[in-house]
Structure 1
Amino acid sequence: MQQYPLIVALDFPTKEEVNQFLEPFQNQQLFVKVGMELFYREGIPFINELKEKGHQIFLDLKLHDIPTTVKRAMKQLAQLEVDIVNVHAMGGIEMMRAAKEGLIAGTKANGSVPLCIAVTQLTSTSEAVMQNEMKIPFTINDHVLHLCHCVKEAELDGVVCSAQEVRIIRENIPSPFYTLTPGIRRLSDSAHDQQRIVTPQLAAQYGSSAIVVGRGITRSDNPVEAYQLYFNEWSQR
């Protein structure tokens, strides 16, 4: 796995649109994110197609259920041999432990267990929404840090969080601890539905392990050029 990957979010409804997007990259091997919309439509065969083309895969399904169900689901997902999978940290320590157990049990002999990371607070969630609608009476930083301690106790590999929280995580959570950060925008890009956004350069400075970029690349008139601009900023570590 790349040490500090730039992960491209394939937020398209069909594999035809994904293939159209990937065509200009001329067989370049990317690290891509496949989310719920695309996976629910195209399923396992499309994951296999991406793997055959040499792409690394973050399968972003955000599992959140009772521990037994999550364990069984992860056992199935492990057989896809993707690179990263995730759960919701608010499912609790027992659920997160069950997820890792399922991954280990489902990984083929001599295979690599995918990184298992946990979503803390979505980057579309503001502190006001968290406090007023979710009734979580803390700051975003405090709550994310609390969830990180739970993730560490559950022995998962790290978290999905905003890059804005990475510095406090690095100061308080022992390494190794993977921080994958969506909500990345260049200064010239629209924020869209994201609230806690950070530029690629700042994400690198804060210590993010990986960044996820979607519309800034996928909706660009020149995706290859946009990818390179993001990559260049991200690489200035």
Structure 2
Amino acid sequence: MKERLIFALDVEDGATALAWVERLRAEVGLFKVGKQLFTSAGPELVRRIVLNGGQVFLDLKYHDIPNTVAKAAIEALRLGVSMLNVHALGGMTMMQTMSAQVRQIAAAEGRPCPLLLAVTILTSASQSDLQAVGIDRPVTEMVVRLAQLAQAAGLDGVVASAQEAPLIRQACGPDFVIVTPGVRPVASAVDDQQRIMTPAAALAAGADYLVVGRPIATASDPVQAARAIVTEMASSASA
């Protein structure tokens, strides 16, 4: 079950990130590298995490013209990442182009292809946030529409709130991967997330992977906090 837990490396520099990797490598399945850390420490950090035995979810949410996104994703492939994502709002052509080119290069170069994911609607976004940018449809409707678009474009799954996971599972089937941020163990702070769920509830809702950051990083004993989450995940799966 620990392979389905992703720890968010929401830190400022590579040295701190590598210290977390060393501390939690035996407790979690993947390490999420986002925009702050990647901007600070760059591709070399990703290479070092992979060389040190860690799997990386490169969370850069590519959103650009199709060829630019495809070329960026190919370089992520060559870094050895296990997951990467794009914004589904980038559209069908962008996602199709990226998926096709990454898979082609992976096969040609004999590299394992990472899971290719699309972000639907950010878990920090509320209905009023969507309306402010001209999206008048309900959050749940937009999430499902974007998930179906990503699936049709050849992607492996989506990043979405666990609250929408049952709808995505119904629309996209049992093999479509759902990666869920906004996961908070019971009694944890909500922070800046709007659509959150506990680990057990997220798995029960249909999530495949859970992204957890602050509830582990700010715990008095991060290793024990990670183990407690894995235990909760396992109990949910066996219930």
TM-score (norm 2): 0.92
Query: Aligned pair in 2 of structure 1 residues 170, 30: CA closer, same or farther (>3 Å)?
Result: closer
Aligned to 2:118: 118
Aligned to 2:102: 103
**Whole-Å separation in 2 of the counterparts to 1:115 and 1:23:** 24
Aligned to 1:198: 197
For the 8 Å contact 2:119–2:159, the answer to whether it is kept is: yes
Query: Aligned pair in 2 of structure 1 residues 72, 32: CA closer, same or farther (>3 Å)?
Result: same
- Once the two structures are TM-superposed, the CA of residue 29 in structure 1 deviates from its matched residue by 6.5
**Whole-Å separation in 2 of the counterparts to 1:19 and 1:111:** 24
C-alpha distance after superposition, 1:3-31 (max 9, x if no partner): 96100000001012223334544866641
**Whole-Å separation in 2 of the counterparts to 1:217 and 1:190:** 12
Secondary structure at the counterpart of residue 79 of structure 1: helix
- Once the two structures are TM-superposed, the CA of residue 130 in structure 1 deviates from its matched residue by 1.3
Aligned to 2:36: 37
Aligned to 2:168: 169
- RMSD over equivalenced CA pairs, Å: 1.8
**Whole-Å separation in 2 of the counterparts to 1:98 and 1:26:** 33
How do 1:1-237 residues align onto structure 2 when only pairs under 5 Å count? 5-25=4-24, 30-107=29-106, 109-131=109-131, 133-236=132-235, 237=237
Secondary structure at the counterpart of residue 60 of structure 1: strand
For the 8 Å contact 2:200–2:233, the answer to whether it is kept is: yes
**Whole-Å separation in 1 of the counterparts to 2:134 and 2:149:** 19
**Whole-Å separation in 2 of the counterparts to 1:24 and 1:76:** 28
**Whole-Å separation in 1 of the counterparts to 2:217 and 2:229:** 12
**Whole-Å separation in 2 of the counterparts to 1:168 and 1:38:** 32
TM-score (norm 1): 0.93
For the 8 Å contact 2:21–2:49, the answer to whether it is kept is: no
**Whole-Å separation in 2 of the counterparts to 1:201 and 1:26:** 22
**Whole-Å separation in 2 of the counterparts to 1:216 and 1:174:** 31
Query: Aligned pair in 2 of structure 1 residues 135, 209: CA closer, same or farther (>3 Å)?
Result: same
- Once the two structures are TM-superposed, the CA of residue 70 in structure 1 deviates from its matched residue by 0.8
**Whole-Å separation in 1 of the counterparts to 2:29 and 2:188:** 22
Question: Partner amino acid for 2:96?
Answer: R
Percentage of matched positions with identical amino acids: 36
Q: Which has the higher helix share?
A: 2
Question: Partner amino acid for 2:118?
Answer: A
Query: Aligned pair in 2 of structure 1 residues 29, 199: CA closer, same or farther (>3 Å)?
Result: closer
For the 8 Å contact 2:10–2:33, the answer to whether it is kept is: yes
For the 8 Å contact 2:10–2:37, the answer to whether it is kept is: yes
